[in-house]
Structure 1
Amino acid sequence: MIACFDIGGSAIKAAAAHAHDDVRPLPKVPTPLSDFDAFAATIGELADQSGADRSQLIAISIAGVVDAETGRITCANIPCIDGRALAADLKEKLGRSVLIANDADCFALSEATVGAGVGHRIVFGVIIGTGVGGGLVINGNIHEGVGGFAGEWGHGPVSATSAGNPPASIPRFACGCGQIGCIDTVGAARGLERLHLHLHQAALSSTEIIEAWENGEATAARTIDCYVDIVSAPLAMTINIVGASIVPVGGGLANCIPLVELLDKAVRRRILYKTDRPLVVPAKLKVEPGLVGAGILGLTEIAK
């Protein structure tokens, strides 16, 4: 049994991982943002509460990108760890070995191991929520790529400038990553809102747009038509490149099953491999996939 964590800018979630399908959460606590000593102490206290042996490693899923070569993390929403060689620094503070992976990678690993991707050799886990992201798992192992950015299909200047039927003109929106025209600017929840505002000059939340679409409202249907057209093309290209045979989707927008089904049909029309079987599917793990993925990551390491 090991201690595992899912760490975001607002909260640290911890659990005791007894097996891949037996991860027992502890109460979550606020994330110390500006004090690394407090951050490390909180991790240590929660690890002790889990009951895990201090000789065992701890595994962390985090909302940041870890460079596999340097071990340094990019994590702007937790300033006290941004730029640190976090695993090494935590090991020095806690006297425990530490494994760290991006939260989208842990999501993909959890789906590949105990979720929708069971039985598939190549699993591409997709997030469409606050942001657009993803993780790639090959033969049960996270593929991080150079700099830890493998699977990050949401960034890159590839967003369409014309979408929907009939075609509508779509501007190339500025992205927080510094580029123009990233899929994240349209495919994420705020992006869906941005798209609706552009098309109809009406400010609605993503949940309001989805609800209106499900109720048959025409302007929302037009927004969703354009949204699926824009998002499905780069997702299809990514699937062609990585060769995934299943694409579990998580994040807030993925809670709308009809939207995922529509995206799946559009993607399957655009990929080279033709199949009548659903490819882009709702994630099976609805509760704490990051924690589950971190637990699987750590348990797999100690079993080697």
Structure 2
Amino acid sequence: MILCCDIGGTAIKLAEARSPHDVAVKSRIPTPTHDFAAFVGVLRTAILESATPPRAIAFSLAGVIDPDTGVATAANIPCLSGRHLQKELTISLGLPVILANDADCFALAEAQVGAGRGHDVVFGLILGTGVGGGVVVRGQLINRAGFAGEIGHGPAAQRILSDLDITLPAFLCGCGLTGCLDAVCSARGMERLHRHLHGQDVDSRDIVSGWQAGNADAARTVAVWLAVLSGPLAMVENVLGAGVIAVGGGLSTSHALVAALDVAVRGQILRRFDRPLVVPAQCAVEPGLIGAAILGLSLTGN
């Protein structure tokens, strides 16, 4: 059995995994974001309370591990940043530790047991609090460093949208750059976009529901959102040749929005599909936990 942990800035989700199809969610515990000893204590308790002793502990982490130094960066969990996290956790917990970025775990879960089943190349796209992604090729992550597929960061957001007669400012992103998709196309980014266009503070869920109901302001915001996101996503598709782009995160709960994004992307790529390319994620259980389980089970020979 592998103990799986999905580590976010708000909560640690725990599960016991015996196969990718047998991932039993056990509990959800507030994340001790500023106290590493307390963080380790939560994990030790989870190990002790496991139904059977785990062979390893696998983490889906809202952050990245530098592939050269092994040092972690987790902006929402300060007590983990700057640490040689795998080494320190292995020593503290007395078990083999597997670490991977949460977007990579999401992509891996969708590739093996979700919407990407049967496809050689799968791109997992997260549209939630942030914009992120992961790449899986023939059932394996393209790398384990947590940097591949990160479409959300870098100056890729188009500012001059001639068809819509609008020029956008270079919005500042939380990563420190300007012009990132994360700053415009995440849930918070959609709200920022709506505020810029209409001077209104509206929750992203209300913008999407308003768009679906025919509200003119919401429709304008979604049209701009689609125009900004679909071009870079089409370039990602041309580079990867993915058989499917599986979308997770809060914005993916609107299947109409995902379908509109699919139409916009398919109109800008070289390959012609007679089926949807951009589709909602299908994993019923937390994909971060499933992805961690897949990595843990494969690396421990279970």
Q: TM-score range by the shorter chain?
A: over 0.9
Paired position in structure 1 for 2:214? 216
Q: Quick one: distance in 2 between partners of 1:173 and 1:288?
A: 31
Q: How far does the alpha carbon of each residue in 1:199-224 deviate from its partner, in whole angstroms, 9 at most, with x for none?
A: 12222111111111111111111111
Q: After the TM superposition, which parts of structure 1 deviate over 3 Å for at least 4 consecutive aligned residues?
A: none
SS in structure 1 opposite 2:267?
helix
Aligned length: 302
**Residue type of the partner of 1:140?**
G
Paired position in structure 1 for 2:271? 273
**Paired residues of 1:68 and 1:144 also in contact (CA < 8 A):** no
Q: From the superposition, tell whether residues 151 and 252 of structure 1 become closer, same or farther in structure 2 (CA, over 3 Å).
A: same
CA shift for structure 1 position 165: 3.9
Paired position in structure 2 for 1:14? 14
> Which residue among 184, 187, 196 is the counterpart of 2:185?
187
Mapping of 1:147-186 within 5 angstroms?
148-163=146-161, 165-186=163-184
**Residue type of the partner of 2:187?**
A
Paired position in structure 2 for 1:122? 121
SS in structure 2 opposite 1:28?
strand
Of the structure 1 ranges 187-196 and 61-70, higher mean CA displacement relative to structure 2 is found in 61-70
Paired position in structure 2 for 1:230? 228
Q: Quick one: distance in 1 between partners of 2:286 and 2:216?
A: 35
Paired position in structure 1 for 2:95? 96
Q: Which runs of 5+ in 2 are unaligned?
A: none
Paired position in structure 2 for 1:71? 70
Paired position in structure 2 for 1:112? 111
Q: How far does the alpha carbon of each residue in 1:115-168 deviate from its partner, in whole angstroms, 9 at most, with x for none?
A: 0001111111000010000011111111237x5311101111121112374321
CA shift for structure 1 position 286: 4.2
Identity over the aligned pairs, expressed in percent?
51
**Paired residues of 1:110 and 1:289 also in contact (CA < 8 A):** yes
Normalised TM-score (structure 1): 0.95
**Paired residues of 2:245 and 2:279 also in contact (CA < 8 A):** yes
Q: Quick one: distance in 1 between partners of 2:255 and 2:183?
A: 22
SS in structure 2 opposite 1:175?
coil
Q: Quick one: distance in 2 between partners of 1:211 and 1:286?
A: 23
Q: Quick one: distance in 2 between partners of 1:179 and 1:124?
A: 24
SS in structure 1 opposite 2:23?
strand
Q: From the superposition, tell whether residues 164 and 248 of structure 1 become closer, same or farther in structure 2 (CA, over 3 Å).
A: farther
1:295 aligns with 2:298: no
**Paired residues of 1:105 and 1:135 also in contact (CA < 8 A):** yes
SS in structure 2 opposite 1:27?
strand
Paired position in structure 2 for 1:35? 35
**Residue type of the partner of 2:197?**
L
Mapping of 1:43-82 within 5 angstroms?
43-54=43-54, 56-82=55-81
Q: Quick one: distance in 1 between partners of 2:298 and 2:58?
A: 10
SS in structure 2 opposite 1:50?
coil
Q: Quick one: distance in 1 between partners of 2:279 and 2:165?
A: 27
**Paired residues of 2:121 and 2:135 also in contact (CA < 8 A):** yes
Q: Which runs of 5+ in 1 are unaligned?
A: none
**Paired residues of 1:2 and 1:52 also in contact (CA < 8 A):** no
CA shift for structure 1 position 287: 3.3
**Residue type of the partner of 1:18?**
R
1:135 aligns with 2:134: yes
Q: Quick one: distance in 2 between partners of 1:115 and 1:15?
A: 18
Normalised TM-score (structure 2): 0.96
Of the structure 1 ranges 64-73 and 210-219, higher mean CA displacement relative to structure 2 is found in 64-73
Q: How far does the alpha carbon of each residue in 1:23-82 deviate from its partner, in whole angstroms, 9 at most, with x for none?
A: 00112111112221221121122123223435x111000101112332221002111110
Q: From the superposition, tell whether residues 52 and 104 of structure 1 become closer, same or farther in structure 2 (CA, over 3 Å).
A: farther
